[in-house]
Amino acid sequence: MSRLKIAGLYLQALFYVFAGINHLWHPQSYLGIMPPYFGAPAFWVAFTGYCEIAGGLGLLLPRTRRVSAWGLAAMLLGYFTVHIHMLVHQADLYSMVPVWALWARLLFQPVLIAWALLYCGPTSADAAKPADRHPAESGKSQRS
């Protein structure tokens, strides 16, 4: 993995750990933007906070990196509902947030998803492992 990719990995991990902690530390900020069609908004704010922390930490471990990256990407896809809700209801519910900021956040979401998916490939540790081969492919007979 290149130095730039490693730096991006650590930066992304820190970003999600701190974002997750912020969900838990300042839930009122997130409760205010939850669409009403999500039941139990306090649960979802806490749940996504814990998921962000787990995903960020999981990125740091080669064994969990791939599943963590996929999990973060899936979570970011789910966040589209919040971003679209805020954009649709900007005038009546979120007038303190400029429309351009809501559009920017919505358009930046695919960048964050792509950044997470960047780490879904095999790790250098995976590349170093020999592939499991079927005994029939080894050229040796199973019979003694």
Q: Is residue 101 part of a domain?
A: yes
Q: Is residue 137 part of a domain?
A: no
Q: Is residue 80 part of a domain?
A: yes
Distance CA 143, CA 94 (A): 73
Tens-digit pLDDT profile for residues 18-58? 999 999 999 999 999 999 999 999 999 999 999 999 999 99
Number of compact structural domains in the chain: 1
What residue numbers bound the domain in which 67 lies?
Answer: 3-124
Q: Is residue 134 part of a domain?
A: no
Question: pTM for the whole thing?
Answer: 0.80
**pLDDT at site 1:** 83
Q: Is residue 55 part of a domain?
A: yes
**pLDDT at site 131:** 53
Residue ranges in the chain whose pLDDT is less than 70 = 122-144
Residue 127 contacts residue 118 (beta carbons within 8 Å): no
Q: Is residue 51 part of a domain?
A: yes
